[in-house]
Structure 1
Amino acid sequence: MSIIFIEYRYGEVRDMMVEGLTERQREVLTIIARLMEQGKRPPTVREVARTLSITVRGAYDHIRSLERKGYIDIRRGSARGIEILKPPFSIISTSGQGIPLPILGQIPAGDPLLSEEYWIDTISLDRSIVPDGAAFMLEVTGDSMIGDHIVDGDLVLVRPNPQPPEGTIVVAVIDDEATVKRLGRVEGRPALVPSNPAFSPIPLDEEVREIRIVGEVVGLIRRRLRR
């Protein structure tokens, strides 16, 4: 699942502009983002150098420049320790041709699912980064899914589907409270399984609580709040 970083606060969403970079630095940042998307993990300096047909030293110097300018973070001691802090491309549509998606703070108990009274904001995203079928976003609360890199304050993109396959990360409603968990099994019983060991699985066949699955998580946007 790709994680996209945007600068965001309620009522205002704007691009993380690629400012203050040379043309080559912008190219390096774009290559890093594409290699991360293709390989589902950060690239090494050598992989960046090979893709750009430059020396390893040259790639390293550009990567360090991107770090100094705040576009990436480098985890020392790891060959794949690059984290993108600002994307090299626009994900927010300013042309009017984007896909407007509501952000929900909670899931309504009945129909319609996307009743506007539950919206806390909307974002119009570029069509190229919206997975097929994504209909809304939900603001995540809590840290029960940190093992899947889903943290408090993230926005998950949700495709409505009341019967997703086992193993899917889903949005479910438990007694009118929305939660994000992985659909799985515990001791042979279907359950909503957290990826943080501090939390317990929730059996789907228990009768004391009303549980319904709303949809599957197909993407994630990580907000970086302005100070």
Structure 2
Amino acid sequence: MSNDKPKLTPRQQEIFELIQRAIARTGAPPTRAEIASELGFRSANAAEEHLQALARKGVIELVGGTSRGIRLKAGTLRTVNETRKRGGESSGAASNVLPFNLPLPGLEQLVLPLVGRVAAGNPILAQEHVEQTYSVEPGLFARRPDYLLRVKGMSMKDAGILDGDLLAVARTRDARNGQIVVARLGDEVTVKRFQRTAQGIQLLPENPDFQPIVVSPDQEDFELEGLAVGLIRNQLLN
């Protein structure tokens, strides 16, 4: 990518900055409808036209099949990270998944193990589960991750988490409602949105084709493994 910044129109710049603010504030890009509402467009189609123009200029990438399928290109990640730091973001915002690209060159690297298929009853970071390691820039994450987990399936598609992606996970045994977590249920490790109710815990998908998982208060095979704090897109590793 050239070091020259692409020239954006005032409206394109406005949308681009809106995307950056949304990611810095919530950890997720806005939907087309949210962009239209924020900027007073009559429909989401108008927002889509501007997003297509930004994609052609190489500052964002559009991912099909998800309402929040907007990714900043590698050259813009430093700006977003600086925005997050200036905003004094609390660790609570780390619950949202960030659509990050690969690390920027010349920066300090964090070496993370990649966990693949997890055997029942074994710790998630057991040596036999580690497929390989990756070097990433630690500043990309609002909270330092402990490992990468290879995502299986499309149950979190509408949160921008796709099959084969590498999810950055910070180990914890506690979570707040609305956070995206990695949980173990018997022989399975799953990525879902956490919700605690009076009846127990619900693990909510972000895809209408999937049903919530209900965890009863006396269920013994449930364990919270960690919080999602970032994402590396699978195709960027090929």
With the shorter chain as reference, the TM-score category is 0.5 to 0.7
Structure 1 contact 138–155 (Cα < 8 Å) conserved: yes
1:37 aligns with 2:37: no
Structure 1 residue 140: Cα displacement: 0.7
Structure 2 SS opposite 1:153: coil
Structure 2 SS opposite 1:224: helix
Structure 2 contact 147–168 (Cα < 8 Å) conserved: yes
Structure 2 contact 59–76 (Cα < 8 Å) conserved: no
TM-score when normalising by structure 1: 0.64
- In the alignment, residue 176 of structure 1 is paired with which amino acid? D
CA shift digits 1:70-108 (9 cap, x unpaired): 964499xxxx99944742157426547311111111345
Q: Which residue of 2 aligns with 1:220?
A: 231
Structure 1 residue 214: Cα displacement: 0.3
Distance 1:87 1:132 in 2: 19
1:99 aligns with 2:110: yes
Structure 1 contact 92–123 (Cα < 8 Å) conserved: no
Would the alpha carbon gap of residues 162 and 95 (structure 1) be closer, same or farther in structure 2, given more than 3 Å must change? Answer: same
Structure 2 contact 114–147 (Cα < 8 Å) conserved: yes
1:67 aligns with 2:79: no
- In the alignment, residue 157 of structure 2 is paired with which amino acid? I
- CA-based RMSD of the aligned residues comes to 4.1
Structure 1 SS opposite 2:139: helix
CA shift digits 1:37-57 (9 cap, x unpaired): 31233778xx8xxxxxxxxxx
Structure 2 contact 158–207 (Cα < 8 Å) conserved: yes
Q: Which residue of 1 aligns with 2:185?
A: 174
TM-score when normalising by structure 2: 0.61
Structure 1 contact 162–213 (Cα < 8 Å) conserved: yes
Structure 1 residue 156: Cα displacement: 1.1
Structure 1 SS opposite 2:108: coil
| Farther off after superposition, 34-43 or 63-72 | 63-72
Gaps of 5+ in 2: 24-29, 40-49, 78-101
Structure number with higher strand proportion: 1
Would the alpha carbon gap of residues 192 and 120 (structure 1) be closer, same or farther in structure 2, given more than 3 Å must change? Answer: same
Distance 1:116 1:74 in 2: 34
Select the residue among 87, 102, 108 that pairs with 2:74. Answer: 87
1:124 aligns with 2:135: yes
Question: What percent of counterpart residues are identical?
Answer: 26
1:110 aligns with 2:122: yes
Q: Which has the larger radius of gyration?
A: 1
Q: Which has the higher contact order (CA 8 A, sep 6+)?
A: 1
- In the alignment, residue 116 of structure 2 is paired with which amino acid? G
